[in-house]
Amino acid sequence: MRSAAPAIVLARPQMGENIGAAARVMANFGLSDLRISAPRDGWPNEKADAMAAGGVAVVKSARVTGDFESAISDLTVIYAATARTRDMEKPVLTPRAAMAQARAEIAQGGAPGFVFGAEASGLTNDEVALADAVLSIPVDAACSSLNLAQAVAVTAYEWMAGDPAPGGGEGPVPAPRDELLGLIDQFEEALEAKNYFFPEHRAATMRRNLRAALSRGGLTSQEVRSLRGALKALTRGEGPEGG
CATH, residue 49: 3.40.1280.10
For residues 3 and 163, what is the distance between their CA atoms, to the nearest angstrom?
18
Do residue 122 and residue 206 come from a single domain? Answer: no
Q: Which residues of the chain have pLDDT under 50?
A: 1, 168, 238-240, 242-243
Do residue 44 and residue 109 come from a single domain? Answer: yes
Do residue 124 and residue 218 come from a single domain? Answer: no
The tens digit of pLDDT for each residue in 112-136 reads 999 999 998 899 999 999 999 999 9
Cα dihedral 22, 25, 30, 32, rounded to 10, equals: 20
- End position of a domain, from candidates 108, 129, 161: 161
- End position of a domain, from candidates 127, 161, 195: 161
pLDDT of residue 194: 86
Inside any domain, residue 172: no
Inside any domain, residue 149: yes
Do residue 75 and residue 128 come from a single domain? Answer: yes
Q: Is 122 helix (H, G, I), strand (E, B) or coil?
A: strand
Inside any domain, residue 102: yes
Q: How many CB atoms lie within 10 A of CB 45?
A: 22
Indicate the number of domains in the chain.
2
The domain of 201 spans 177-236
Do residue 46 and residue 139 come from a single domain? Answer: yes
pLDDT of residue 54: 93
Extended beta strands in the chain, E state = 7-11, 34-37, 63-65, 77-81, 92-93, 112-116, 133-135
For residues 149 and 117, what is the distance between their CA atoms, to the nearest angstrom?
11
Inside any domain, residue 167: no
Do residue 47 and residue 89 come from a single domain? Answer: yes
pLDDT of residue 240: 47
Inside any domain, residue 242: no
Cβ-contact 242, 222 below 8 angstroms: yes
Inside any domain, residue 119: yes
The pTM of this model reads 0.77
pLDDT of residue 86: 64
pLDDT of residue 34: 98
Q: Examine residue 164 and say whether the peptide bond preceding it is cis (omega within 30 degrees of 0).
A: no
Do residue 57 and residue 131 come from a single domain? Answer: yes
Do residue 153 and residue 194 come from a single domain? Answer: no
- End position of a domain, from candidates 107, 126, 161: 161
Do residue 52 and residue 147 come from a single domain? Answer: yes
**Type of residue at 17:** E
pLDDT of residue 1: 45
Tell me which H or E stretch contains 159. helix 148-161
